[in-house]
Amino acid sequence: MHDVQAAGGASLSEDDASPGEPAGPTRLPLLLAVAVAVLVADVLTKTLAVRQLAGRAPVELLGGLLTLRLVRNPGAAFGMAAGMTVLFTAVAVLVVLAILRLSRRLRSRAWAVALGLVLGGALGNLTDRVFRGPGPGRGHVVDFLELPHWPVFNLADSSIVAAACLMILLTLRGSSYDGSRPAD
């Protein structure tokens, strides 16, 4: 063990790290940057969608590969469970709190990106549920992107799905959120 310490008592050596705790910086800034980017993009695109698509017929783009169709979704993904908006609001709050709690031990860049995508997506849809009609906690989520044979969705939904795919890949590779990997 080294006796030399930085100002404030921080260790200058990885040898002084607590047992079982991986060395390396926390990835909280990366997680937050990804979450803020997703949230800002989601809020801006939903604002534009409401402004440009309200009262208008769907707009086909890319030869019908993508359709812009404004839908106000009171339920979960794909319009399921429309009467449970308050429950989805509570679940989104719990997801946000769980990610923030976990972030203290986050050392993996890839997991920081994945959790940032989930956090930004959850906050994007939670923002709709809190601030849009018919009222706080019961607001309808704005969806506006539609692919052929697929329900209408938004950037927050896309972010959450991308995060789920990344998390599956990271799990299959044996990568842990704390930066550790199982011994070979």
Greatest C-alpha distance within the chain:
71
Cα 84 to Cα 91, 107, 116, 164: the distances in Å are 11, 36, 25, 23
Q: What DSSP element (H or E) covers 68? A: strand 66-73
- Would you please indicate which residues are annotated as catalytic (active-site) residues? 143, 157
Between CA 131 and CA 145 the distance in angstroms is: 21
What residues pair up with 106 in beta bridges, in sequence order?
A: none
Chain centroid offset of residue 42 CA = 11
